[in-house]
């Protein structure tokens, strides 16, 4: 029997494979407000103190617990020296680039070369719809769906000029010096695949995008057709930076083109871009990433919170209409606290709809919004959020609205829905005539569409029953038995996903005492779900990012978008409802191409009919890393025999599973505590022990009630303490 390492040593080990690049200047990828502290001093050009995050780190977290920062963290002085040096280099480089931008020396890549580079990076770019072709085919008749032949006719592949280096952003696409500096200060050196493909499409001319026909090429004018972009790129591949650079550049450019404000006049912040994300956690993260890039540019980014409204000046009300609830806000004298003015607003769909809901006409129009970004677009267009998302999209009635949709998984039905909506919207706004600028819907696919990242090790573990799953999870935490290659263990920090909130809570109470006291005990395990208050959610997120929490039990709330650095693994305690959900859950580890992440999926007898969903994704991912399923694997992933033995999931079952999950695990009172629920209860205790425990609890409770009753009776008899006035002489 292998003796597991003493808990204290095991848990305090700071050497985690996915710790990332040591000394990477980006210290926080999430909520830490690294850039808000000393912001003003920095923008004025005065010396910047160490950021709040660093301070907090120095104050609070012992270094060995800091999972999220590289091993070789530099000392304060060496860090400052490095930062100064980097700034110097940036300035020098930007000066050179500035000179180049007037006289660009970027070699013009021929079609063949472009194709070769795009292929090397596994980028495939397709025009899904050319509005002119679609219009010809429809003769402007109202339509709900585009026919397959029309769609096919409008489709063709293009080869935009790949963005091979970030320096091209300034020299070729003319991004502002400040934006380039901010980008560099984040320590980004090379664009990722999704940035290589998307930024030229978003920032470039038609020539850069490979959109110019031979006829166009004869004319010297630099045309720029409108593009709506669908991007499907793996989890953790840097999509946020892709859309942020684009939006910030466009807003800065249009601000520059407008008249300069007088010295005592502050530039007005009008909402020109909306970024929609499905959860507060992701929205907060986007705000934080955006603020770092927008630092000192004057562009204001706001994250909507409950009770906030967009400033009425930003909304195109119909006559006599006004914001719903705005009067109540003013009457309280707190208008300023509630009304938001910003250039970019990041929000969940429902919060934004509330923030723009007018008294008479539902969602009020947002005439200034020119950029709409749907992050995790497939879930935003899924029935759960569809109405809200389309409501916002409709409210954006600016004729030159550009929409971009981003996710690691966008299925063909969602793609079709988006395409139809874009087409319909243009038709309703009268933008289909040939005199209006050309519009394309372009799709960028990075790597294998809708698949899990190949740098994560996938483990499917059969645990037979609920009890088996709990034992398996404990075994992962404290491996026992002879040391062998097949001993599966998982070092914190890691995420554990359950199907429902109540199961997450139940699992949390089971695992609370699994971390030894000397390693921090129960404070190392936390649960996060949507029933908690926003403040509690933010606190838990911050604790996990700082390394104070090691094991975070959650629902699909955290399956999308959130970026934790140095995450060692993900446990699917309950199997995910869909293949896409698996892709996103496991994508919380192995980000930015880091090796060492493990994704463990536990399944029981009841799950067998649905496991094929997951198995198919795992098989595709393993094929992608050239580990043939046929030739066997490392002994853990997906064995060929298992893949073959698993029953196929029918369409009907897939649909049921997607909307309801495994039925017996649903969080009804019956399912949790009723007779039929025994099989799905999260507990290591036997029924006998549980009965004894309940009996004991019942006795204590009965005694407490009896005492309370007796006290009450005493009070009623007039002999309570307050009533007793002593015996008169």
Ligand X SMILES: Nc1ncnc2c1ncn2[C@@H]1O[C@H](COP(=O)(O)OP(=O)(O)OP(=O)(O)O)[C@@H](O)[C@H]1O
Closest CA to 141 of 154, 152, 150, 153: 150
Regarding 29 and contact with ligand X (CB under 6 A), the answer is yes
The residue (of 238 and 365) whose beta carbon lies closer to ligand X is 238
Closest separation in Å from C-beta 214 to ligand X: 34
Rounded to 5°, angle at Cα 357 from 351 and 361? 150
The residue count for binding ligand X (CB under 6 A) is 21
Instruction: Give the number of other CB atoms < 10 A from CB of residue 627.
Output: 15
> Do the beta carbons of residue 519 and residue 14 sit within 8 Å?
no
CA distances from 621 to 576, 579, 637 (A): 17, 12, 10
Closest separation in Å from C-beta 566 to ligand X: 10
Provide the mask over 504-533, with x wherever binding to ligand X is found by CB under 6 A and - wherever it is not: ------------------------------
The residue (of 166 and 371) whose beta carbon lies closer to ligand X is 166
Binding ligand X (rule: CB under 6 A), the pick from 408, 453, 620, 629 is 408
Calpha distance 369→314 (Å, rounded):
9
Regarding 587 and contact with ligand X (CB under 6 A), the answer is yes
Instruction: Give the number of other CB atoms < 10 A from CB of residue 62.
Output: 11
Closest separation in Å from C-beta 543 to ligand X: 19
Binding ligand X (rule: CB under 6 A), the pick from 416, 592, 633, 639 is 592
With CB atoms as reference, the residue minimizing the distance to ligand X is 238
The residue (of 564 and 610) whose beta carbon lies closer to ligand X is 564
The residue (of 160 and 242) whose beta carbon lies closer to ligand X is 242
Closest separation in Å from C-beta 207 to ligand X: 25
Q: What is the 3-state secondary structure (H, E, C) of 511-558?
A: HCCCCCHHHCHHHHEEEECCCCCHHHHHHHHHHHHHCCCCEEEECHHH
Regarding 590 and contact with ligand X (CB under 6 A), the answer is no
The residue (of 34 and 540) whose beta carbon lies closer to ligand X is 34
Provide the mask over 538-567, with x wherever binding to ligand X is found by CB under 6 A and - wherever it is not: -----------------------x-x----
Instruction: Give the number of other CB atoms < 10 A from CB of residue 36.
Output: 14
The residue (of 393 and 406) whose beta carbon lies closer to ligand X is 406
Closest separation in Å from C-beta 241 to ligand X: 4
Regarding 576 and contact with ligand X (CB under 6 A), the answer is no
Calpha distance 559→277 (Å, rounded):
12
Regarding 497 and contact with ligand X (CB under 6 A), the answer is no
The residue (of 29 and 604) whose beta carbon lies closer to ligand X is 29
Calpha distance 447→135 (Å, rounded):
32
Regarding 594 and contact with ligand X (CB under 6 A), the answer is no
Binding ligand X (rule: CB under 6 A), the pick from 170, 178, 239, 292 is 239
Binding ligand X (rule: CB under 6 A), the pick from 238, 278, 543, 637 is 238
Regarding 591 and contact with ligand X (CB under 6 A), the answer is yes
Per 3-state DSSP, the chain is made up of helix, strand and coil in percentages (nearest 5) of 45, 10, 40
Regarding 240 and contact with ligand X (CB under 6 A), the answer is yes
The residue (of 137 and 592) whose beta carbon lies closer to ligand X is 592
Regarding 129 and contact with ligand X (CB under 6 A), the answer is no
Q: Which residues contact 115 (CB under 8 A, 6 or more apart)?
A: 159
What are 38-43's contacts with CB under 8 Å, separation 24+? 39/295, 39/296, 42/295, 42/296, 43/295, 43/296
Burial state string for 273-300 with b = 16 or more CB within 10 A and e = fewer than 16: bbbbbbbbbbbbbbbbbbbbbbbbbebb
- The one-character DSSP state at 39 is H
Calpha distance 166→190 (Å, rounded):
6
The residue (of 20 and 661) whose beta carbon lies closer to ligand X is 20
Segment 178-237, which members bind ligand X (CB under 6 A)? 188, 190-192, 195, 233, 235-237
> Do the beta carbons of residue 586 and residue 458 sit within 8 Å?
yes
Closest separation in Å from C-beta 676 to ligand X: 37
Q: At which residue do the structure tokens 């139809």 appear? A: 420
Cis peptide before 371 (omega within 30 of 0): no
**Three-class SS state of 686:** coil
Binding ligand X (rule: CB under 6 A), the pick from 69, 175, 230, 241 is 241
The residue (of 450 and 548) whose beta carbon lies closer to ligand X is 450
Q: Which residues contact 278 (CB under 8 A, 6 or more apart)?
A: 348, 349, 376, 379, 380, 385, 560, 561
Closest separation in Å from C-beta 263 to ligand X: 36
Q: Which stretch in 137-145, 239-247, 268-276, 512-520 sits in contact with ligand X by CB under 6 A?
A: 239-247
Q: Which stretch in 260-268, 426-434, 518-526, 587-595 sits in contact with ligand X by CB under 6 A?
A: 587-595
Closest CA to 593 of 16, 28, 18, 163: 18
Residues in contact with ligand X by CB under 6 A are: 26, 29, 188, 190-192, 195, 233, 235-241, 408, 561, 563, 587, 591-592
């Amino acid at each position: 029997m292998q003796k597991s390492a003493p808990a204290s040593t095991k848990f305090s080990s700071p050497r985690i494979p996915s710790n990332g690049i040591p000394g990477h200047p980006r210290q926080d990828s999430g909520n830490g407000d690294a850039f808000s502290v000393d912001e003003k001093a920095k923008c004025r050009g005065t010396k910047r103190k160490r950021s709040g995050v660093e301070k907090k780190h120095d104050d609070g977290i012992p270094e060995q617990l800091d999972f999220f920062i590289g091993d070789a963290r530099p000392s304060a002085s060496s860090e400052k020296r490095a930062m100064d040096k980097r700034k110097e280099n940036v300035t020098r480089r930007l000066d050179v680039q500035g000179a180049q931008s007037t006289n660009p020396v970027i070699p013009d890549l021929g079609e063949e070369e472009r194709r070769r580079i795009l292929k090397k990076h596994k980028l495939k770019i397709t025009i899904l719809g050319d509005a002119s072709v679609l219009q010809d085919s429809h003769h402007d008749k109202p339509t709900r769906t585009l026919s397959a032949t029309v769609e096919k006719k409008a489709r063709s592949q293009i080869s935009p000029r790949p963005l091979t280096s970030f320096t091209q952003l300034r020299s070729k696409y003319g991004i502002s010096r400040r934006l380039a500096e901010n980008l560099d200060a984040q320590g980004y050196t090379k664009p990722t695949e999704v940035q290589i493909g998307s930024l030229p499409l978003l920032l470039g001319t038609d020539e850069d995008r490979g959109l110019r026909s031979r006829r166009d090429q004869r004319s010297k004018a630099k045309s720029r057709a409108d593009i709506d972009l669908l991007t499907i790129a793996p989890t953790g591949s840097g999509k946020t930076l892709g859309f942020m650079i684009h939006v910030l550049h466009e807003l800065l450019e249009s601000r520059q083109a407008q008249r300069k404000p007088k010295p005592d006049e502050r530039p007005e912040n009008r909402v020109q871009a909306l970024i929609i994300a499905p959860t507060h956690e992701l929205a907060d993260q986007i705000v934080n990433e955006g603020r770092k890039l927008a630092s000192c540019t004057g562009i204001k980014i706001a994250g909507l919170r409950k009770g906030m409204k967009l400033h009425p000046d930003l909304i195109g009300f119909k006559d006599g209409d006004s914001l719903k609830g705005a009067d109540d806000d003013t009457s309280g004298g707190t208008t300023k606290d509630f009304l938001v003015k910003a250039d970019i607003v990041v929000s969940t769909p429902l919060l934004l709809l509330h923030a723009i809901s007018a008294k008479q006409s539902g969602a009020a129009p947002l005439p200034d919004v020119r950029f709409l970004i749907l992050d995790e677009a497939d879930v935003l267009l899924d029935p759960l959020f569809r109405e809200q998302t389309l409501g916002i999209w409709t409210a954006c009635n600016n004729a030159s609205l550009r929409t971009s949709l981003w996710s690691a998984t966008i299925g063909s039905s969602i793609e079709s829905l988006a395409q139809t909506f874009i087409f319909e919207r243009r038709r309703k706004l009268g933008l289909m005539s040939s005199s209006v600028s050309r519009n394309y819907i372009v799709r960028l696919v990075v790597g294998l569409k809708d698949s899990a990242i190949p740098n994560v090790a996938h483990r499917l573990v059969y645990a037979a029953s609920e009890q088996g799953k709990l034992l398996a999870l404990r075994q992962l935490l404290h491996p026992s038995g002879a040391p062998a290659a097949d001993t599966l263990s998982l070092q914190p920090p890691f995420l554990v996903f359950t199907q429902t909130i109540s199961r997450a809570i139940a699992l949390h109470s089971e695992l609370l005492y699994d971390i030894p006291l000397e390693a921090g005990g129960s404070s190392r395990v936390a649960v996060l779900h949507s029933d908690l208050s926003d403040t509690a959610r933010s606190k838990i997120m911050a604790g996990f990012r700082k390394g104070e929490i090691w094991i975070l039990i959650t629902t699909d709330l955290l399956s999308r978008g959130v970026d934790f650095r140095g995450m060692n693994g993900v446990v699917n305690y309950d199997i995910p409802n869909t293949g896409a959900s698996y892709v996103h859950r496991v994508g919380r580890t192995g980000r930015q191409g880091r090796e060492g992440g493990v994704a463990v999926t536990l399944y029981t007898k009841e799950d067998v009919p649905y496991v094929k969903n997951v198995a198919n994704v795992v098989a595709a991912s393993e094929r992608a890393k050239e580990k043939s399923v046929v030739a066997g694997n490392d002994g853990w992933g997906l064995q060929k025999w298992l893949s073959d033995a698993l029953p196929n999931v029918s369409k009907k079952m897939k649909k049921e599973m997607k909307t309801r999950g495994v039925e017996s695990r649903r969080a009804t009172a019956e399912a949790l505590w009723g007779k039929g629920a025994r099989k799905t209860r999260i507990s290591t205790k036997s029924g006998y022990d549980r009965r004894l425990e309940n009996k004991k609890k019942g006795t204590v409770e009965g005694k407490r009630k009896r005492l309370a009753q007796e006290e009450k009776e005493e009070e009623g008899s007039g002999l309570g303490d307050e009533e007793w006035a002593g015996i008169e002489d």
